[in-house]
Amino acid sequence: MASESSRSDDREARLARLRQIPRTPVLIVGGGINGISTFRELALQGIPVVMVEKGDWCQAASGALSRMIHGGLRYLETGEFSLVKESVRERDRLLKNAPHYVAPLRTTVPIDSWGGGLLNAGKRFLRLTEKPSRRGALVIKTGLTLYDAWSRRFGNMPKHQLHNQPQTRQRWPGFADWVKCSAAYYDAWIAAPERLGFELIEDAERAEPAALALNYLSVEQCDGEKITLRDTLRGETFSLKAHVVVNATGAWIDRLNGTLSESLPERKLIGGTKGSHLILHCPALLQMLDGEMVYYENQEGRVCIMFPWYGNVLVGSTDIRVDNPDDVVCEKDEQSYILDSLRFVFPHLTIKEEDVLYTFSGVRPLPASHAASNGSISRNHSLVLLPPLAGRDFTTLCLVGGKWTTFRQFGEEAADRVLKLLGEQRKVSTADLAIGGGRDFPSATRKPGWLKALSSEYGVSQTRVSQLVSRYGTRAQAVMNFMRLQPDHPLHAQPDWSQNELRFLIRHEQVQTLEDLLVRRTPLAISGQLTLPLMAEVNALLAEDRGWSPEKSAQHLTDTLSRLAALHGLGRLYPVEMNKESCHVSQSESEA
Ligand SMILES: Cc1cc2nc3c(=O)[nH]c(=O)nc-3n(C[C@H](O)[C@H](O)[C@H](O)COP(=O)(O)OP(=O)(O)OC[C@H]3O[C@@H](n4cnc5c(N)ncnc54)[C@H](O)[C@@H]3O)c2cc1C
């Protein structure tokens, strides 16, 4: 078993490199998708950029999205045509550049009338009202026609269809009586946003080896040129000077600006709203959805979504203003609100509290706004440049707003501003650049042959190869190369995963905590598969790799259980008696 110092290799090496960098041209603060995207853009232009994140990559809003890669149909109503057009274009790019995680999603909109909502939609468009109301078929058809036009320009999604009442009833017998017709169209969903975020970092560091990304490192203080960073795991501090700081801290933007300069004039950039989702175990609903998303208005006219999620159903979300973005959680009343919204569309479903397997919450980093309705705050993004001033000797570029779908475009715009500040030129475009395991991903026709070839090359069953490819895309080959270096075993508590597969993630993907592994590098938590034995088994692999003592390992497991209970509603895992012995890989397995 490796000693702690010899095994914390990757992080120690990264921290050692950071100690050797007294000054960087660009420091990006915030490792959500927008900071990561800017990091990739700059690294690809050969800039030795540094990025720090106070927790894990994509731990905040970028891990709490509805997991839709979409144009944003409803933004047409508020006249945000350029945002929708850009989103459709970026959606279609992601379908090509990240085909291992992003896939088309057939979507149905239940509608209560043909002509309803015309007046209100017109008023919203002219900004005479912010009140959401039900949209009739004509309003929705107008939006979908524009969607189709843009989709045809950038990709090849099928055109939308309107279905009358008998057609709708035939496909959706469980819909509420108020549903008079429906529209069907295609958007897209993302299976592993946190993994795609990590793969972008990996691509960037490979393209520019002097670029450095460090998680669990927080910006704490600034004194003139000197920025103080703190290792949030061990407490060590570092200082760094930067020519430009990119503030990509999402809902924390104003806080970081306050940290960077106390003398900064009061200018609020962010007015975040919290959104929560549930993962439901509901086979009857899953069967009705049959692979489709339902994009529906709830009793208040707010748009909500539900779609199949790893054998369960993802449903959300809420939209509540919050001032403190730290550790937001899905409250009980939000859970009831989401379930009531669901019953509004499917009134005959019985859903019990214990059917909620997992919850997650995040804060949308929306621009500060006085809008009366949260839904009418713009989802567009913008850049705000703060020049150097007394006590803060560098320029700060703030990334305000932005959807997950449009991260590439936003990162490109941010990087171009930074390049201009540095007097550098853009050399590479990311528009058509495949990401991580999306590189060399075979077409649907080539895929079966490719899987078969991999299966014989690695001596692994085709089922297992397909599973690994669905998890890692073409990076599955790197995973399999690692897995065959030593004998492997399926996990006792979840045989769909193997020890060496998890060891690969632990060693190669900047995993610092059990939570990183369960929540962001794998879908084990969000797919509702967590049990105490499984957590203990995975924790044991992490402890073995890091050389943790039995006490440290047991404490880490306890801390993770508490966090998952608090942040994701997993308190029901507690009643199981915790066995310290289970925190270790058994001797025979670790030696095998
Ligand atoms: C409920 C919800 C549903 C959504 N659904 C969708 C959707 O379906 N499709 C879509 O396209 N978009 C969606 N979005 C929007 C999208 O997820 C966000 O706009 C996007 O993820 C924002 O990314 P970000 O990088 O700007 O912010 P974040 O992901 O919040 O990242 C900011 C990071 O900064 C870090 N940080 C803060 N302070 C410091 C510091 N001092 N030092 C170091 N690091 C710091 C934080 O820890 C955080 O990780 C949704 C958002 C929410 C909340």
Indicate if ligand 1 lies below 6 Å from the C-beta of 64: yes
Identify the band that residue 372 occupies on the pLDDT scale cut at 50, 70 and 90. confident
**CB 367 near ligand 1, within 6 Å:** no
Q: How many CA atoms lie within 13 A of 372 on its CB side?
A: 7
pLDDT in tens, 184-203: 999 999 999 999 999 999 99
Q: Is the CB of 143 under 6 A from ligand 1?
A: no
CA-nearest residue, atom 13 of ligand 1: 65
pLDDT, mean of residues 555-571:
95
Helices (H) then strands (E): counts for the chain: 20, 18
- Which atom of ligand 1 is least distant from the CA of 56? 49
* 587/267 Cα distance (integer angstroms): 59
pLDDT of 459 above 90: yes
Indicate if ligand 1 lies below 6 Å from the C-beta of 60. yes
> Is it the case that residue 569 has pLDDT exceeding 90?
yes
451: amino acid identity, one letter: L
Nearest CA to ligand 1 atom 1: 275
pLDDT, mean of residues 146-175: 91
Spatial contact of 233 and 245, defined as CB atoms under 8 Å apart: no
Q: Enter the CATH code of domain 273-364.
A: 3.30.9.10
- Residue 362: pLDDT over 50: yes
**Residue 267 — very low, low, confident or very high, per pLDDT cuts 50/70/90?**
confident
Ligand 1 probe mutation, 198, 252, 330, 380, most atoms within 8 A of CB: 252
Q: What is the CA radius of gyration of the chain?
A: 24
Mean pLDDT of 427-453: 97
**Which residue's CA is the nearest one to ligand 1's atom 6?**
65
Ligand 1 pocket: which of 249, 295, 405, 567 to mutate (most atoms within 8 A of CB): 249
Listed residue (519, 539, 531) closest to 580, CA to CA = 539
Distance 63 CA to ligand 1 centre (A): 7
Among 229-238, 381-390, 396-405, the range scoring the smallest mean pLDDT is 381-390
Distance 571 CA to ligand 1 centre (A): 25
Closest residue by CA, ligand 1 atom 2 = 65
Question: Residue 477 contacts by C-beta under 8 Å, 6 or more apart in sequence?
Answer: 454
Nearest residue (CA) to ligand 1, atom 26: 250
Atom of ligand 1 nearest to the CA of 67: 8
> Looking up tokens 């938590």, which residue turns up?
525
With a 6 Å cutoff on the Cβ, whether 362 touches ligand 1 is yes
Residue 375's contacts (CB-CB under 8 Å, 6 or more residues apart) are 74, 130, 132, 302, 303, 319
Tell me the CA–centroid distance for residue 503 and ligand 1, in Å: 28
Distance (Å) from CA 59 to ligand 1 centroid: 8
From 380-394, 424-438, 466-480, the region with the lowest mean pLDDT: 380-394
- Encoded tokens for 208: 């520019």
What angle, rounded to 10 degrees, do the helices at 33-44 and 193-207 form?
20
Q: Which atom of ligand 1 is nearest to the CA of 218?
A: 42
User: What pLDDT shows up at residue 588?
Assistant: 38
* Confidence at residue 339, expressed as pLDDT on a 0 to 100 scale: 96
Q: Which of 27-41, 115-129, 356-370 has the lowest mean pLDDT?
A: 115-129
Half-sphere exposure of 359 (CA within 13 A, CB side): 30
- Cα torsion angle, 89, 93, 96, 98, sign: negative
Question: Right CATH number for 4-61+194-270+379-422 from 3.30.479.30, 3.90.950.10, 3.30.2320.50, 3.50.50.60?
Answer: 3.50.50.60
For residue 293 and ligand 1, the question of a CB distance below 6 A is answered with no
**Delimiting residues of CATH 3.30.9.10 domain(s) in the chain:** 273-364
Q: Give the pLDDT confidence score for residue 400 in this predicted structure.
A: 96
Distance 139 CA to ligand 1 centre (A): 31
Contact 410, 402 (CB under 8 A): yes
Residue type, 255: R
Residue 561 pLDDT greater than 70, yes or no: yes
CB atoms within 10 A of CB 219: 22
pLDDT band of 327, cuts 50, 70, 90:
confident
**Closest C-alpha residue for ligand 1 atom 41:** 219
CA distance 539 to 523: 16
- How many Å lie between the centroid of ligand 1 and the Cα of residue 352? 31
Q: From ligand 1's centre to the CA of 61, what distance in Å? A: 3
> Mean pLDDT over all residues of the chain?
90
Q: Is the confidence at residue 592, as pLDDT, over 80?
A: no
Looking at the chain, the domain(s) classified CATH 3.50.50.60 span 4-61+194-270+379-422
Q: Are strands 320-321 and 50-52 parallel, antiparallel or unpaired?
A: unpaired
Number of neighbours of residue 121 by Cβ within 10 angstroms = 22
SS3 of residue 462 by DSSP: helix
Atom of ligand 1 nearest to the CA of 406: 11
The answer to whether 30 and 249 have CB atoms below 8 angstroms apart is: yes
Backbone angles phi, psi at 299, to 5 degrees: -60, -20
**What ligand 1 atom has the least distance to the C-alpha of 362?**
53
Q: Give distance in angstroms: CA of 98 to centre of ligand 1.
A: 20
Give the number of residues written for the chain: 592
- Tens digit of each residue's pLDDT (9 = 90 or more) over 111-121: 998 775 555 65
Helix (H) or strand (E) holding 241: strand 237-247
* Atom 32 of ligand 1, residue of closest alpha carbon: 249
* Identity of residue 114: W
Q: Which atom of ligand 1 is nearest to the CA of 30?
A: 34
Q: ω into residue 455 within 30 of 0, thus cis?
A: no
Predicted pLDDT at 134? 67
With a 6 A CB cut-off, is 499 part of the ligand 1 pocket? no
Q: Hunting for tokens 């707010």 — which residue is that?
A: 302
- The residue whose C-alpha atom lies closest to atom 35 belonging to ligand 1 is 30
Least Cα distance to 386 among 419, 416, 421 occurs for 421
User: pLDDT grade, residue 3 (50/70/90)?
Assistant: very low
**Is 105 near ligand 1, meaning CB less than 6 Å away?**
no
Indicate if ligand 1 lies below 6 Å from the C-beta of 151.
no
How do 217-223 and 226-231 pair as beta strands?
antiparallel
Amino acid symbol at 262: E
Question: Which of 40, 403, 408, 512 to mutate for ligand 1's pocket (most ligand atoms within 8 Å of CB)?
Answer: 403
Say yes or no to pLDDT of 103 above 90.
yes
- What is d(CA 430, CA 433) in angstroms, rounded to the nearest whole number? 5
Residue 245's DSSP bridge partners are 27, 396
Ligand 1 neighbour 53 (Cβ under 6 A)? yes
What one-character-per-residue DSSP string does 543-554 give?
HHHHT--HHHHH
Residue 249 Cα: closest atom of ligand 1 = 34
Atom of ligand 1 nearest to the CA of 399: 26
pLDDT of residue 428: 97
Distance 377 CA to ligand 1 centre (A): 16
